[in-house]
């Protein structure tokens, strides 16, 4: 389970953006960063700083993956034909914890990782407890029968805070989600602007 679970909103404040679009985010009340120096005047950011920020924001969005995990996904994206930035988004959205979150089976990406790790999810009828498991087009992700009445599942399904994207076909009565297609950047319902092109520039130079 990610070490960020108890302090996830620090990412919001560090970025000065409500990156998950949640009503509870402290950025809704104050946009400056955490700590005693959070309100210092911001100077013009360098190209490196802009690229690093874009990378940290995208990495943080998916449960604040470790640098090693994120760089491995970037490496996979760079090896596939096509636009590396678009490939990166597609691979991130194919993570099992991301699919569980997008399907609204749980309220947050952090809860999604824990939910998968604790064995509450199946893929094509088989239990999978690896959050980084990469789903394929046509795969059916489901909440296990014994987990369907959990409070956080019922809360997430009832929430109007976000919508299910159209690259998933979700049946909330059965708590199943079919991964229809791999999305591009324009398909993913980010609450803030993500810039995978800057992430590509960051790794190309560093």
- pLDDT tens, residue by residue, 14-35: 656 767 566 665 555 555 555 5
- State how far the Cα of 44 lies from the Cα of 28, in Å rounded to an integer: 24
Mean pLDDT of 2-24: 58
CB 120 within 8 A of CB 11: no
CB 65 within 8 A of CB 109: no
Q: Of all helices (H) and strands (E), which one includes residue 86?
A: helix 84-93
Tell me the C-alpha to C-alpha distance, in Å, between residue 98 and each of 29, 82, 160: 27, 22, 18
- State how far the Cα of 141 lies from the Cα of 170, in Å rounded to an integer: 9
- Which carries the bigger pLDDT value, residue 24 or residue 195? 195
What token pair was written down for 136? 């394929």
6 exposed, middle or buried (CB, 10 Å; 0-12, 13-18, 19+)? exposed
Q: Residues 54-106: pLDDT tens digits?
A: 999 999 999 979 999 999 999 999 999 999 999 999 999 999 999 999 999 99
Mean pLDDT of 157-174: 95
Q: Residues 109-164: pLDDT tens digits?
A: 999 999 999 999 999 999 999 999 999 999 999 999 999 999 999 999 999 888 99
């Amino acid at each position: 389970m990610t070490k960020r679970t108890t302090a996830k909103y620090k990412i919001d404040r560090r970025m000065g953006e409500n990156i998950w679009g949640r009503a509870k985010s402290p950025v809704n009340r104050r946009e400056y960063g955490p700590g005693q120096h959070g309100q210092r005047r911001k100077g013009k950011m360098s190209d490196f700083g802009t690229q690093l920020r874009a990378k940290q924001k995208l990495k943080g969005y998916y449960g604040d993956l470790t640098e090693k995990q994120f760089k491995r996904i970037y490496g996979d994206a760079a090896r596939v034909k096509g636009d590396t930035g678009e490939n990166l988004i597609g691979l991130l959205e194919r993570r099992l914890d991301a699919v569980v979150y997008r399907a609204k089976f749980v309220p947050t990406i952090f809860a999604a990782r824990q939910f998968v790790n604790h064995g509450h999810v199946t893929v094509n009828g088989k239990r999978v407890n690896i959050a980084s498991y990469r789903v394929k087009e046509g795969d059916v992700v489901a909440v296990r029968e014994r987990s369907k009445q959990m409070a956080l599942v019922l809360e997430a399904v009832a929430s109007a805070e976000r919508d299910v994207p159209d690259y998933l076909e979700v049946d909330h009565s059965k708590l199943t989600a079919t991964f229809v297609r791999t999305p591009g950047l324009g398909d993913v319902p980010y609450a803030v602007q993500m810039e995978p092109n800057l992430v590509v520039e960051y790794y190309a130079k560093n």
